Structure 1
Amino acid sequence: MIAKSHLFRHEPAWFDDRSGLYRTLPGTVRSWLYEPGSLTLRLQRACRGAFHVAVLGEGWALPFVGESRLLGLPPASRCLVREVALMRADEPLVLARSIIPATTLRAADPGLSRLGSRPLGAVLFACPRLRRQRLQLARVRAGAFHGPAAPAAAVWGRRSLYSIAAGELLVCEFFLPAALGLAETMQEGD
């Protein structure tokens, strides 16, 4: 069983997307938080071949209390917890945490438990029955993170509850300053 988290000292404080928040966010933040498609595909295109996944931790663990609650799991239910950095060359762009219950692994693509350095998004967005059920947001201060990929400043993140096949899973993504700069470059190039 892996440690509770290779990314966080404690669970981020998530909130449901509020009416009016969209308009108050800078455009670069907004473009990542509300990206409706595959984040992996968007990053791969923007990185032009320099994109890869660095696995920070992966294994069976107890999710945070809020994650268990959102997934409707009984207390002490272990899940496959995967934490990665989505990278452009040696520069982290996005920190991600995925929580996949055992029941979802049995019902969905069994390859979800053997991703290695393959991006989760490449598998998820290939599933025709994938649907986002809920979107939550968080502004996480730098001190909440730990580990080698910890950002030096507060960052925005999103947590998506997806239904896939006969199960659900959570995907949490935190957008580092390098990703925001990448979004600016992409907007200028349009």
Structure 2
Amino acid sequence: MPLKDCDQPPELSIPPTFWYRSLVAAGLYCPEVHGPARYWLTVEGSFTRALQQKCQERFHVEILREGFSTPTPEEAKRLNLAPRQLAWVREVRLCGDGRPWVLARTVIPQTCLHGHGRRLRNLGNKPLGAYLFSSPEWQRGPLETGLCKARSNGHPRLARRSLFHRGSCALLVGEYLLPRLYQSPNRG
């Protein structure tokens, strides 16, 4: 039977999240970060590649929304943007074997969308990680760990994010783990 796109209720969305500079700090408030999710919260290199390796059949990206939007106040502060300044915001589902595993949100300041950065607005269903990790000009900053305000079972409870820098430009990538990703026996 061919795999369909991710079958997920529309109410699944990026939850409000408390961010910590380290896994250890987040673990003081939520021991779950030290369990099976730890692997996914600390993956070095391309998170997309790690998800692809976990797949038995197929990995794909579904765009939930993308376009110019106002980042949250916390995101704007993290990116040193003025309040209410527009940025390119991309939200996607990362799906493996027909099931959503991760919600991802990327905030890209307008200053990063010039020159080679124009490609960031035209990724379509291509994973952002494939672009960032194939381009030596982008460098990842330290990973942060997030504790999400989950709305119900099946919604993200844990997240990770980092800044990617290219010269004076920085973009913010957040990956919100759905519990089925780290509760399934096949880690990758």
Residue-pair matches, total: 174
Shift of 1:152: 3.0
Q: Which runs of 5+ in 2 are unaligned?
A: 1-11
Shift of 1:134: 3.4
Tell me how far apart the structure 1 counterparts of residues 85 and 97 of structure 2 sit (CA, whole Å). Answer: 36
Equivalent in 174, 177, 180 of residue 176 of structure 2: 174
Q: In structure 1, what is the equivalent of residue 46 of structure 2?
A: 38
Contact 1:94–1:179 (CA under 8 A) maintained in structure 2 = yes
What letter matches 2:110 in structure 1? Answer: A
Equivalent in 135, 156, 163 of residue 143 of structure 2: 135
Tell me the SS of whatever aligns to 1:92: strand
Shift of 1:75: 1.7
Equivalent in 133, 146, 166 of residue 164 of structure 1: 166
What letter matches 1:39 in structure 2? Answer: F
Task: Give TM-score, length-normalised by structure 1.
Answer: 0.81
Equivalent in 6, 14, 18 of residue 13 of structure 1: 18
* Change in 2 beyond 3 A, CA 1:69/1:107: farther
Amino-acid identity (%): 34
The 5 A counterparts of 1:50-89 are 50-89=58-97
Contact 1:107–1:165 (CA under 8 A) maintained in structure 2 = no
Task: Give TM-score, length-normalised by structure 2.
Answer: 0.81
* Change in 2 beyond 3 A, CA 1:156/1:165: same
Shift of 1:109: 3.1
Shift of 1:56: 0.7
What letter matches 1:86 in structure 2? Answer: L
Shift of 1:48: 4.1
Q: Which runs of 5+ in 1 are unaligned?
A: 1-5, 144-149
Any idea what the Cα deviations from partners look like across 1:64-105, whole Å, max 9, x if unmatched? Answer: 001000101112210000001100133110011000011011
Query: Mean alpha-carbon deviation: is it higher for 122-131 or for 58-67?
Result: 122-131
Q: In structure 2, what is the equivalent of residue 121 of structure 1?
A: 129
* Change in 2 beyond 3 A, CA 1:22/1:95: same
Tell me how far apart the structure 1 counterparts of residues 111 and 88 of structure 2 sit (CA, whole Å). Answer: 10
Contact 1:51–1:89 (CA under 8 A) maintained in structure 2 = yes
